[in-house]
Amino acid sequence: MAAMQTIRNIVILTGAGVSAESGIDTFRSAGGLWEEHRVEDVATPEGFARDPDLVLRFYDMRREAIQTKAPNPAHHALGRLEREWPKQVPGGTVTLVTQNVDDLHERGGSLSVIHMHGEHLTVWCTACDTRRRWTGPLIHRPPCPECETPALRPDVVWFGEVPYRMDEIIVALQEADLFVSIGTSGAVYPAAGFVRMARELGARTLELNLEHSQGSSWFDETCLGPASEIVPTWVDELLGR
């Protein structure tokens, strides 16, 4: 790891692996979500247009399920890092970008999370273009509380749609001294390209994962193991404990 005094701004990218030990299926594991479902059926605008009931039911089940899960030590450690890093390095920042649509980072104490692929617990009204917190089902087509049109859809970025808050993410990558990727396979762009971008912009790069990801060669360092163990260890090390 780079000497700590050279690290000021940290960008962390998380994927499904950080929530795996909380009991949320990853996408590309054996028995994972994409093995049970065709991506084009449940995670594309075309799939939604073709069979909205199938898609709404799929996300209703996922929305219900995540509310029964709890954050694990990896989520808690990242929350701690965000709170304590600026005290340790005045002016230092931690930007947490997640591809996950669960809320376990927030429940693990992270205050400011960039959900680039959206969130299970918000809905998007395609009629009035508002978003709001939503914990119940959508299958019965409830009206939008704002405009009363039954046009609510999961606020999840599907394949073919543009991820959220990319401008902010790019700025954070430009300013990063350290880029850390946790529990993501590196299979889905643009997130999979962040490591290369960060590295070319001068950041050190670290991968924390159960196994090497597709972009493993772009990382200066890789630490393999379950997120619930290796993330708290890395955070402790960074905070000098």
Residues that bind ligand OAD (CB under 6 A): 15-17, 20-21, 26-29, 32, 43, 99, 117, 157, 159, 183-185, 187-188, 209-211, 213, 226-227
* Minimum distance of ligand OAD from residue 156's CB (angstroms): 7
Query: Measured on CA atoms in the order 86, 88, 89, 95, is the torsion positive or negative?
Result: negative
Q: Which of residues 148 and 159 has its CB atom nearest to ligand OAD in the complex?
A: 159
What's the CA angle centered on 133, arms 50 and 169, to 5 degrees? 85
Active site (annotated) includes residue 117: yes
Which DSSP string do the residues of 195-228 spell out, in sequence order? HHHHHHTT-EEEEEESS--TTGGG-SEEEES-HH
Q: Which of residues 92 and 226 has its CB atom nearest to ligand OAD in the complex?
A: 226
Q: Spell out the residues 6+ positions from residue 3 whose beta carbon is closer than 8 angstroms to its own.
A: none
DSSP 138: -
Q: Which of residues 52 and 73 has its CB atom nearest to ligand OAD in the complex?
A: 73
Q: Which of residues 3 and 49 has its CB atom nearest to ligand OAD in the complex?
A: 49
* Minimum distance of ligand OAD from residue 5's CB (angstroms): 29
* Minimum distance of ligand OAD from residue 23's CB (angstroms): 11
* Minimum distance of ligand OAD from residue 50's CB (angstroms): 17
Q: Which of 75, 117, 120, 212 is catalytic?
A: 117
Maximum pairwise Cα distance, the chain: 55
Q: How far is Cα 178 from Cα 114, in angstroms, rounded to an integer? A: 17
Q: Which of residues 9 and 15 has its CB atom nearest to ligand OAD in the complex?
A: 15
Neighbours of 83 (CB within 10 A): 13
Q: How far is Cα 203 from Cα 199, in angstroms, rounded to an integer? A: 5
* Minimum distance of ligand OAD from residue 213's CB (angstroms): 5
Q: How far is Cα 1 from Cα 10, in angstroms, rounded to an integer? A: 13
Query: 186 to each of 141, 148, 216, how far by Cα in Å?
Result: 35, 40, 8
Residue with nearest beta carbon to ligand OAD: 17
Report the catalytic residues.
117
